[in-house]
Amino acid sequence: MCGIAGILSPDPEQRALIEAMAHSLVHRGPDDMGFFRQGPMAMAQTRLSIIDLATGHQPILNEDDSLVLVCNGEIYNSPSLREALMEKGHRFRTATDVEVILHLYEEHGDDCVKHLQGMFAFALWDRARERLLLARDHMGQKPLFFSNVSGAFSFASEVKGLLASKLIEPQMELEGLWHYMSLRFMPDDFTFFKDIHKLPAGSRLVFENQKIKIDRYWDIDFLKKHPGSEKEIEEGLHQTLRETVESHMLSDVRVGAFLSGGIDSGTVSAMMATLQDQPVPVFSIGVKEQSFNELPYARMVAERYGMEAHEEIVESDMIHKIPAMIHHMDEPSDPFGVGVYLVAQLARRTVKVALSGDGGDESFAGYDRFAGQRLADYYAVMPRWLRQNVMSRLIRLIPDTFQYKTIAQKARWLNEMSLRDRGDRYAHSMSFLRFTDDAKRSLFTEKAQATFDAQDSREKILAHFDAHNVNELVDRMLYTDLMTRMPDHLLVIADRMCMAHSLENRSPLVDHRLVEYAAGIPGNMKLKGMKLKHILRSVSSRYLPKELVYREKQGFGFPIALWLRNDLSHFLRNLFAESRFIQAGIFDAATIQTLLDEHLSGKADHNFRLWILLNLELWHRMYFENLSVDGMRELTDRMMHR
């Protein structure tokens, strides 16, 4: 695990900026730093030593020094790949896993990526051809950003690496921001900054003769289903998952696991416990508010397997943690990210590597909205005029308790979704708790909207929902999530929040082989009637207590809505009174004031919207006013108590 960076330029002064880029990524790899400088290419890597502690220094060159590699990630099938390559006469200089990429390139060229099982983002410089190959893993677990301005092509593991080069002047990308306000993530190759792009998941980029070529080397086929009975498919899933978890335990240092109260992390942790003799270190966090606290369920698993349990209770003082999170995200933080940041901080005191349960919901239909689509169909039997004119008014009278999954929230969601058809319904559900297209047209000023193409963000979802490699409704929803929310939101958070603490996060349920197996499972075995994650629960029941496996999904969350109304209410008023987005003419002051007043008075729960707006304000001050994390602490203290 590490950070990588590079500059391809004929100008030696530009190439010298690689030093600043590398130092900006040292949190990703505090154990070592290496450089390659020759000809027009400068490359760097900061290393977190996990495999081959002694000789795994990067950049790595092949036998005749014609190829140079820097890689961030782990190649789980490297032992078998290495053996096969050595039989063909390839000579290895190190025992590190990523060296196989060099020799696979010698054998297969750009298709080397198709032979890898793992999480990776790498840059391979072909010195003789002056040709640069960049690639990201199938699901996008490891990040890679690039820019082609000022006569230089540059790349880095994080946006801050590119900004550190000073080759790019930070400018806000308003078109990307428009989509973010609805989707909670940046779609396609967007980032928050103009001229900085992300390489999409499962894609490779070739820079040659001053031209950029990007293509996708992998996709998921949902049309071909596994033959056999449900029991046989369940056994196949069990074996695939177990083999995947075992491969993810490859390490020369101790490996732990995140353990929440859900079945995904619980199953991964339990499998680890059965695959090794020593107690598995597991890490869990909780909150004092019992309706959000999952620690009792995590303890069930830890006690059953004699795990080495580490726990921590967090409180609402997280406002002081947000600037550090934004610094590592290079974009606004997310409520889900708070939990990952804190559990990673806890884990790093004991281990360098932790397995997680990320990805179970996206491959096996674990979110309420999957079952909600079917429920909306049943509800839609009621005449449309009744739902639109009568039910909507009655539902607005239900008071919101600002808790998790309240009756008021569910009723509003169900009624609104029933008024739309399949694809449009699912796309709209992405923005329901945030800013719909209509809401954005009130939030963004007319002046701001005139500066970019304000397309309906639902099109970013429908492009995948309506794809030709999927037909069942549940699979359309899953494919959409796997192509959008997974690489552009959840895995972004998992990577940055763990790397903030120099901790490697591995996600067996995101392994592309497991994702492919899950895609081949008939939809009615994943979502059986209204039962979420049916077949995965069957596998999990082999390892976990039944009261945990079959309880209602709770989620890894915090009482944000209550914290914003109470502890942080004064802070919000002061922050929005000095809104940089209002001052810049991007957001409408009256719209923001209405959202704030309605939330603080208890009239409506706008916590998701306010969280985004709060984070944008802090992000702007850090990236456009150059306030440091420490400087942000002073600002937040001032606004909390002014």
For 242-280, the pLDDT digits (tens) are: 999 999 999 999 999 999 989 999 999 999 999 999 999
Supply the pLDDT for residue 291.
58
pLDDT at 405 over 80: no
State residue 301's pLDDT score. Answer: 96
Residues 393 and 446: their CA atoms lie apart, in Å, by 30
Please say if the pLDDT value at position 69 is more than 90: yes
- b/e 610-642 (16+ beta carbons within 10 angstroms → b): bbbbbbbbbbbbbbeeebebeebbebbeebeee
Torsion of CA 593, 594, 596, 599, to 10 degrees: 170
State the catalytic residues. Answer: 2
Highest mean pLDDT among 282-291, 510-519, 604-613: 510-519
Cβ neighbours around 79 below 10 Å, total: 13
CA-to-CA dists, residue 560 to 8, 410, 563, angstroms:
44, 18, 5
Contact yes or no for 99/140 (Cβ under 8 A): no
Average pLDDT score, the chain:
93
**Percent helix, strand, coil in the chain (nearest 5)?**
50, 15, 35
Compute the distance between CA of residue 560 and CA of residue 568 in angstroms, rounded to an integer.
Answer: 10
Sequence-ordered list of residues with C-beta below 8 angstroms from that of 403, at least 6 positions apart, any chain? 291, 559, 561, 562
Q: Beta-carbon neighbour count of residue 448 at 10 Å? A: 19
Neighbours of 270 (CB within 10 A): 25
Q: Read off the tokens for 81.
A: 């790949």
Q: With contact defined as beta carbons under 8 Å apart, do 490 and 339 qualify?
A: no
Q: How far apart are the C-alpha atoms of 201 and 141, rounded to whole Å?
A: 8
Entry field: residues in the chain: 642
pLDDT tens digits along 44-62: 999 988 877 777 889 999 9
**What is the three-class DSSP state of 166?**
coil
* Backbone phi, psi, residue 96, to 5°: -75, 150
Q: Provide Rg for the chain, Cα atoms.
A: 24
CA dist list (Å): 280 to 263, 264, 266, 285, 308 = 17, 16, 12, 17, 6
pTM (2 decimals)? 0.95
Q: Nearest-CA neighbor of 517 among 441, 473, 525?
A: 525
Bridge-based pairing state of the strands 308-314 and 152-156: unpaired
The 10s digit of each residue's pLDDT in 90-122 is: 999 998 999 999 999 999 999 999 999 999 999
pLDDT at 316 over 70: no
Q: Has residue 435 got a pLDDT over 90?
A: yes
β-pairing, 32-38 vs 60-61, is unpaired
Q: How many distinct helices (H) and strands (E) make up the chain? A: 33, 17
pLDDT value of residue 275: 97
Contacts of 277 by beta carbon, 8 Å cutoff, 6+ apart:
none
Distances (CA, A) of 467 to 8, 151, 371: 37, 38, 21
Residues linked to residue 281 through DSSP beta bridges, in sequence order: 308
All structural domains of the chain, each given as residue ranges with its CATH number in brackets, are 2-216 (3.60.20.10), 230-365+482-549 (3.40.50.620), 368-480 (no CATH), 560-641 (no CATH)
- Residue 558 reports pLDDT greater than 80: no
pLDDT of residue 135: 98
Reply yes or no on whether the pLDDT at 556 is more than 60. no
Distance (Å) of CA 176 to CA 182, 463, 554: 10, 17, 31
The answer to whether the CB of 268 falls within 8 A of the CB of 357 is: yes
Q: Report yes or no: 4 and 14 within 8 Å, Cβ to Cβ.
A: no
> For residue 320, what pLDDT is reported?
86
Q: How many Å apart are CA 612 and CA 184, to the nearest integer?
A: 8
List the one residue out of 330, 121, 116, 107 whose CA is nearest residue 205.
Answer: 121
Confidence (pLDDT) at 400: 75
User: Which has the higher per-residue pLDDT, 229 or 2?
Assistant: 229
Whether 289 has a pLDDT exceeding 80, the answer reads no
Choose among 118, 120, 101, 119: nearest CA to 110.
101
Per-residue model confidence (pLDDT) at position 189:
96
Query: Would the pLDDT of 555 be above 60?
Result: no
Average pLDDT over residues 356-370: 94
Taking a C-beta distance cutoff of 8 angstroms, is the pair 478, 509 a contact? Answer: no
Residue 392 banded pLDDT, cuts 50, 70, 90:
confident
Ramachandran quadrant class, 473 (left: phi over 0; alpha: psi -120 to 50; beta: rest): alpha
Cβ pair 515, 140 in contact under 8 A: no
Q: What is the pLDDT of residue 562?
A: 82
pLDDT, position 1:
64
Q: Is it the case that residue 536 has pLDDT exceeding 60?
A: yes
What band does 639 get if pLDDT is binned at 50, 70 and 90? confident
Q: Within 10 Å of residue 349's Cβ, how many Cβ atoms?
A: 10
For 176, the 3-state DSSP assignment is helix
- For the stretch 216-249, pLDDT in tens is 999 999 999 999 999 999 999 999 999 999 999 9
Region 472-482: mean pLDDT is 96
Closest among 127, 128, 132, 75 to 104, alpha carbons compared: 75
Distances (CA, A) of 532 to 173, 222, 430, 515: 37, 18, 18, 17
pLDDT grade, residue 348 (50/70/90)? very high
Residue 237 vs residue 638, higher pLDDT:
237
Cα 426 vs. chain centroid, distance in angstroms? 20
Identify the residue whose tokens are 């030709």.
Answer: 468
Two tokens, residue 395: 């539902």
Average pLDDT over residues 564-581: 92
